[in-house]
Structure 1
Amino acid sequence: MYVADSRSNPSTAATAAARDLGPGRRAAVAPTVLALGTVSLVTDVSSEMVTAVLPLYLVAGLGLSPLGFGLLDGVYNGFSALVRLVGGHLADRGGHHKTVAALGYGLSALCKPLLLLASSLPLIGAVLAADRTGKGLRTAPRDALISLASPDESRGRAFGVHRAMDTAGALIGPLVAFLILRQAADGYDAVFTVSFCVAAVGVLVLLLFVPSRPSMPEPLASPVPAPAPRASLKAALGLLHIPDVRRLALCALLLGLATVSDSFVYLLLQRRLGVTDRWFALLPIGTAAAFLLLAVPLGRLADRVGRWRVFLGGHGALLLVYGALLSGWQSPALPYLVLALHGCFYAATDGVLMAAAAGRIPSELRSSGLALIQTGQALARFGCSIAFGAAWTAWGDRWAIGAATAVLAVCAATSFALRPAADDDTNSGTATPPPTATVSEEAPV
C-alpha cells in the first residue's frame, strides 16, 4: 500500500509545522499566496474592465440577441474547461506550476488588443476562446501553488485572502472602465487598450515575484520514504475513484448547471431598473465589493465549521438572488440586495471549493485534481449560459430565471444528499491526509 509521508506530500509537512506553532498562534499567510494574490489583483483589473463593458458592447453595440450573447458568454466562461485538464497535467509533470500559469496569463493578455480588430461574431468568439484558453491553463496551477504553500488548517483562509485580493482587482476594473467610457471618445477601444497594458504588468509581477515552487517548512523525518505517483492524465482521472473527490466533482457539476452567468444577472438588473448604458459598467462593483468583504471571513468560517457547509450555503445565497430577480418587488434596495447576495455566493464557493478539494488530493496530482473539478463545473456553466440565453430568446427573461430557480433548488437538494461522507476539512487539528493509493497506476501495492 502507498504510504504517504511528509516527503511525498509537502502540504502534510506544512500542516504539521502549523500545528507545532502551538495553541493560540496562527501561521501567517504564505508569501506565495500574497504574491499570487497581487498577480490576480492586477490581472483582474484588466479582465474586469473588459467583462464590465462586454455585455453592453455585444448586445447594444453589435446588436446580438440574448441567444447570440449566451453562446459567446458560454465560450467566454466555459471554453477554458477544454484545456484545464491539460494545464493541470502539464503543471504536475515536473512541478512546472509557475511556467504553465505564466503561459496562461500571457495568452490572455495578448487577446485584449485583438478585441479591437474583431467586429463579427466568429472573430469575437475566437478571441474570447483564446482568452479563456489562457484562463484554463493558469487557474489550476495557480490554485495548486496556493494549496501547496498552505497548511490544511488554514487553507480556507489562504484561499480567502487570495480571492479577496483577486476581487479587489474586480472592484477596480469596472471603475476604470466607467471612467474611460466617460472620458474617451472611442470608449470601447480605449478600454481594450488599457486592459492590455494592465494585463502585461500582471505577467511581469508573476515572473519576478512568484517563486517556482512554494516555500515549505522542512519535511518531518520519516523512516519509510514513499515514491510519488507519476503525473498522467490516467492518474488524474483515477482521482475519481476516491469517493469524496468523486462527490465533490459531481456536486460542482450539478450546481454549475444552474449557475446563471454574471452578465445575465446584470442584464436582468438593467431591465428591471432601467439602468442607462453609461452606468451599466458599475453593476459588477456591487458583487465585487461584497466578495471582497466576505472572502476572508467566510474562508475562516469554512476552516472552522466545514467547507462543504459554507459551499452549500453560498448556493443558498444564489437562490435568493434568483428569487429577488423573479419577484415583482420594486424597491431602491433591490440592486443592493441582489449584488450583495451575488458577492456572498462567490465568497462562499469559489475558493472554498478548492480548499475542500485540495485536502483530498495528493500533492503530486494537486493541479490535475483541481483542474478535474473545475472542468466539470466550467462545462456545466457553459451549458447553463447557452440554455439560459435560448430560454430568454424563446420565452422571455422571467420564464428563463424562473426555470433557473427551480433547477438550482433541485440541484442544491441533490448535492446536499451527495455531500462528502465526512466533512473532515474543519479545523479540528485532525485533518485527514489526502488518499494516494488509488490515484495512480504507478502506486505500489
Structure 2
Amino acid sequence: MLMDISSEMIHSLLPVFMTVILGAIATIVGIIEGVAEATALIVKVFSGAVSDYVRKRKWLAVLGYSMGALAKPMFAVATTTGWVLSARFIDRIGKGIRGAPRDALIADVTDPANRGAAFGLRQSLDTVGAFAGPLIATGLMLVWANDFRAVFWVAVVPGFMAVALLIVGVREPDHATASGKPEFPVSRTALRKLPAAYWWVTAAGAALTLARFSEAFLVLRAQQGGLALFLVPMVLVLMNVVYAVCAYPFGILADRMPHRLLLMLGILPLIGADLLLAHSDALPWVTAGLALWGVHMAATQGLMATMVADTAPASLRGTAFGIFNLASGIAMLIASVLAGVLWDRIGPAATFHAGALFAGAALLLLAAREVRNRK
C-alpha cells in the first residue's frame, strides 16, 4: 500500500507531465508506458524462478521495493522524456523483481480454501494505495499551484517507508525455506511439470492484457476533455476506489463459482468502458467509463493470480507467476504502443474501439473453450 501511494502520486500525473511540461506526443507516452509495464512483468519470470531456487522470497522482495524507492527522485529532476524512461525503467525493474516472490509468498502462507480471498485482500490494499496516492497528489497540486516536481519529491517518502516496513515487519515462512537441494526452475524438466491448465491460464491472461492498454490513456482522455490539471489525478482515484471496493468481494466470489465463468463476466465491464470512452471525452462519459474499468480490474486481477496459484505446483509457484507475467508483459507492450499510434494517427476514439475489439475477441475465445469443455 505504501509503495502504491508513492508510485501513484507520480504515475497519476506523469502522462500529463510528459505531454504538457515535456512536450511528448501520445505515441511517446505509449512507448514509455508500454516499455515500463512490460519490463516489470517480464522481469518477474526471473525473480519468480530465483525465489523458487533459493527459497528466499522476502529478500528478493526487499531488493525490488528498494529499487522502486530509489527511482522516485529521478522523476522530480527529469527534464526530458529520456529521463522519464530511465526512471520508469528502474522503477519497473524493481516492481518486476518483487512481484512474483511477493505473490508466491502470499500463496505460501494461505490455505487453498481462502486463497481467492487472500489475493483479493492483497489487491484491495494495493488499490487503497493506488487511489490514496492520486488523492494526495490532487491536494498537493492544488496547494502548490500545479507544481509537478514538488509533488514528485513528496512521493519519495512513502516509498522508503514501504522498504523499512518490509524489512522489519515481514517474516519468511518456515516451509518456504525447506531443506534439500532445489532444482533450478527454468529448465525443460521443471517446465514440463507445469500442467496444461496452467498454460491455458497464461494464454488467457496474455489475451486479456492485449485488450487492456496502459491506464495513462485514461488520464489523457480525461485531460483532453478539459479537466483542470490539479484534478487529473482524480481520474485514477475514481477508477481505483471502484477497484478497491470490489476487489475483495470478487475474491470471495472466486472461491465460490467457476473461475472461467467469473473471468468471462469480468470482461464485459471492460468492453463497456472502452465503448463509453470512445464515444466522448465529456466528463459524464469518462466517469462512467472509469467506473466500469475499475469493476473489470477488480473482477479479473485477483482472479488471475488465484488461477495461477491453483494450477501450478507449489515448488514452481514463483516460476509460474513469472512466466505468466512474461506473457502478459509482451502483450502490454504491444497494446500500449498500438494505443499510442492509433491515438496520434486516427484519434482517441480509435484507441478505445480497438480495446473493445480485443476484449470482445478474448471473450469469444473463452466462451468457445467453455462450450468445448461441456461437450
How many correspondences in the alignment?
Answer: 373
Check if 1:306 corresponds to 2:258.
yes
CA distance in 2, matches of 1:171, 1:239: 40
Q: Equivalent of 2:112, from 144, 152, 156?
A: 152
Q: Is the 8 A contact 1:148 1:214 kept in 2?
A: no
CA distance in 1, matches of 2:181, 2:104: 16
CA distance in 2, matches of 1:397, 1:190: 30
Match of residue 270 from structure 2: 318
Q: Is the 8 A contact 1:236 1:365 kept in 2?
A: no
Cα deviation, 1:216-256, whole Å, max 9, x if unaligned, reads: 9xx9xxxxxxx886232115971585110111111111121
Match of residue 283 from structure 1: 235
Match of residue 162 from structure 1: 122
Match of residue 17 from structure 2: 57
CA distance in 2, matches of 1:186, 1:333: 24
Q: Is the 8 A contact 2:222 2:281 kept in 1?
A: no
- Structure 1 unaligned segments of length 5 or more: list them: 1-40, 220-226, 424-445
Match of residue 401 from structure 1: 352
Structure 1 residues 336 and 403: alpha-carbon distance in aligned structure 2, compared to 1, 3 A threshold: closer
Match of residue 19 from structure 1: none
Q: CA deviation at 1:329?
A: 9.4
Q: CA deviation at 1:122?
A: 2.2
Q: Which amino acid aligns with 1:42?
A: L
Q: Which amino acid aligns with 1:278?
A: F
Check if 1:264 corresponds to 2:217.
yes
Q: CA deviation at 1:118?
A: 2.5
Q: TM-score, normalised by structure 1?
A: 0.79
SS, match of residue 259 in structure 1: coil
Give 1:425-436 correspondences, 5 Å limit: none
Q: Which has the higher helix share?
A: 2
Moved more, 156-165 or 402-411: 402-411
> What RMSD over aligned residues (CA atoms) do the two structures have, in Å?
2.5
Q: Is the 8 A contact 1:113 1:196 kept in 2?
A: yes
Structure 1 residues 419 and 376: alpha-carbon distance in aligned structure 2, compared to 1, 3 A threshold: farther
CA distance in 2, matches of 1:186, 1:300: 41
Q: Is the 8 A contact 2:146 2:229 kept in 1?
A: no
Q: CA deviation at 1:195?
A: 1.1
Structure 1 residues 210 and 419: alpha-carbon distance in aligned structure 2, compared to 1, 3 A threshold: farther
Match of residue 113 from structure 1: 73
CA distance in 1, matches of 2:189, 2:135: 40
Q: CA deviation at 1:403?
A: 2.2
Q: Which amino acid aligns with 2:331?
A: A
Q: CA deviation at 1:400?
A: 2.4
Q: Is the 8 A contact 2:41 2:329 kept in 1?
A: yes
Match of residue 390 from structure 1: 341
CA distance in 1, matches of 2:347, 2:11: 24
CA distance in 1, matches of 2:72, 2:88: 9
Q: CA deviation at 1:415?
A: 3.2
Q: Is the 8 A contact 1:108 1:135 kept in 2?
A: yes
Q: Equivalent of 1:206, from 166, 191, 206?
A: 166
Q: Which amino acid aligns with 1:249?
A: T
CA distance in 1, matches of 2:321, 2:157: 30
Give 1:408-423 correspondences, 5 Å limit: 408-418=359-369
Q: Is the 8 A contact 2:140 2:151 kept in 1?
A: yes
Q: Is the 8 A contact 1:236 1:372 kept in 2?
A: no
Q: CA deviation at 1:184?
A: 2.5
Match of residue 38 from structure 2: 78
Q: Which amino acid aligns with 1:60?
A: V
Q: Equivalent of 1:296, from 213, 225, 248?
A: 248
SS, match of residue 212 in structure 1: coil
Cα deviation, 1:70-104, whole Å, max 9, x if unaligned, reads: 11111221111331111111111121110101100
Check if 1:244 corresponds to 2:204.
no
Q: Is the 8 A contact 1:357 1:370 kept in 2?
A: yes
Match of residue 359 from structure 1: 310
Structure 1 residues 82 and 113: alpha-carbon distance in aligned structure 2, compared to 1, 3 A threshold: same
Q: Is the 8 A contact 2:42 2:322 kept in 1?
A: no
Match of residue 138 from structure 2: 178
Q: TM-score, normalised by structure 2?
A: 0.93
CA distance in 1, matches of 2:181, 2:188: 12
Match of residue 321 from structure 2: 370
- Structure 2 unaligned segments of length 5 or more: list them: none
Q: CA deviation at 1:386?
A: 0.3
Greater radius of gyration (CA):
1
CA distance in 1, matches of 2:59, 2:137: 30
Match of residue 295 from structure 2: 344
Match of residue 101 from structure 2: 141
CA distance in 2, matches of 1:200, 1:345: 31
CA distance in 1, matches of 2:193, 2:289: 36
Q: Which amino acid aligns with 1:305?
A: M
CA distance in 1, matches of 2:166, 2:188: 29
Moved more, 409-418 or 137-146: 409-418
Q: CA deviation at 1:58?
A: 0.4
Q: Which amino acid aligns with 2:19?
A: V
CA distance in 1, matches of 2:352, 2:339: 8
Q: CA deviation at 1:399?
A: 2.1
Q: Is the 8 A contact 1:240 1:246 kept in 2?
A: no
Moved more, 234-243 or 361-370: 234-243
Q: Is the 8 A contact 2:27 2:344 kept in 1?
A: yes
SS, match of residue 306 in structure 2: helix
Cα deviation, 1:135-190, whole Å, max 9, x if unaligned, reads: 00011111111111111111110111111111111121011111111223672222
Q: Which amino acid aligns with 1:361?
A: A
